[in-house]
């Protein structure tokens, strides 16, 4: 079945460090790919998305590129802030299916 | 303001006592769904609804019921809760295209003793 695998956490970084969270997927078709972020005590918010191969999604300094050849959608940010502390979820959806299939989530803590 | 609301936010109950978690959205979205979030498992879809009176099972529907009598509301019903339903529950809605953003409610933390 369709699934998403993302790197396990927790990840602890210092402010201004570089962040990468790996995400790979398995899908029978051509999925749309998403990164959602969950701040403490809140629901999930869309961070960025890409709908076809080689698309790059970006938002709030975060970027991820849809790599069909490696079935990956790794999240990166060049300089993290304390306010980036959150749980990050990689997810996919397939054409004709409104369900999001999520990875397990990666907890990121940024220390001042 | 576009939003998805859930109530209650926190609930502690006992095994077998029926409960309902409400979900409402103000964006006129056709598609709504319920997810549960468990450590190490991410979010898993429980039920979804394509429109009024149209609902279907997600990946983990056992022990849950839903209804969609109005477009804005999508309550989750636990007829006889059990401890394995202790979890964090999220309602979500989207306009309907697979690439559209899904909007999530703030979550309901349920503990079944």
Q: Each residue's pLDDT tens digit in chain B (113 positions)?
A: 889 999 999 999 999 999 999 999 999 999 999 999 998 888 999 999 989 999 999 999 999 999 999 999 999 999 999 999 999 999 999 887 666 788 999 999 999 99
Per the document, the length of chain B is 113
The answer to whether residue A97 scores a pLDDT higher than 80 is no
E strands, chain A, in order: 3-6, 11-14, 19-21, 23-26, 32-38, 44-50, 56-59, 62-65, 75-77, 86-93, 101-102, 106-111
Between the alpha carbon of residue B23 and those of residues A92, B27, B41, B95, the distances in Å are: 23, 13, 23, 16
Q: Are A96 and B98 a contacting pair at CB < 8 A?
A: yes
How distant is the Cα of B80 from the closest Cα of chain A, in angstroms?
Answer: 26
A106 touches B at CB < 8 Å = no
Q: Which of B4, B92, B98 sits opposite A32 (nearest CB)?
A: B98
The residue written with tokens 């060049």 in the block is A78
Q: Judging by beta carbons within 10 Å of its beta carbon (0-12, 13-18, 19+), is residue B100 exposed, middle or buried?
A: middle
A27 touches B at CB < 8 Å = no
């Amino acid at each position: 079945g369709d699934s998403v695998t993302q790197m396990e956490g927790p990840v602890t970084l210092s402010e201004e460090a570089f962040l990468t969270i790996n995400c790979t997927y398995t899908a029978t078709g051509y999925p749309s790919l998403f990164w959602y972020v969950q701040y403490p005590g809140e629901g999930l918010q869309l961070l960025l998305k890409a709908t076809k191969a080689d698309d790059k999604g970006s938002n709030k300094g975060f970027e991820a590129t849809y790599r069909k050849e490696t079935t990956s959608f790794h999240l990166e940010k060049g300089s993290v802030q304390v306010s980036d502390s959150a749980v990050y979820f990689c997810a996919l959806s397939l054409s004709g299916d409104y369900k999001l299939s999520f990875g397990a989530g990666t907890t990121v803590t940024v220390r001042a | 303001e576009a939003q998805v609301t859930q109530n209650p936010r926190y609930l502690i109950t006992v095994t077998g006592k029926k409960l309902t978690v409400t979900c409402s959205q103000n964006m006129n979205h056709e598609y709504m769904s319920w997810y549960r979030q468990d450590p190490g498992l991410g979010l898993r879809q429980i039920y979804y609804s394509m429109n009024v009176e149209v609902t279907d099972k997600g990946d983990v529907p056992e022990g849950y019921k839903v209804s969609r009598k109005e477009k804005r509301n999508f309550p989750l019903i636990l007829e006889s809760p059990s401890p394995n339903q202790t979890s964090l529950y999220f309602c979500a809605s989207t306009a309907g295209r697979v690439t559209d953003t899904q909007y999530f409610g703030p979550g309901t933390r349920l503990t079944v003793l």
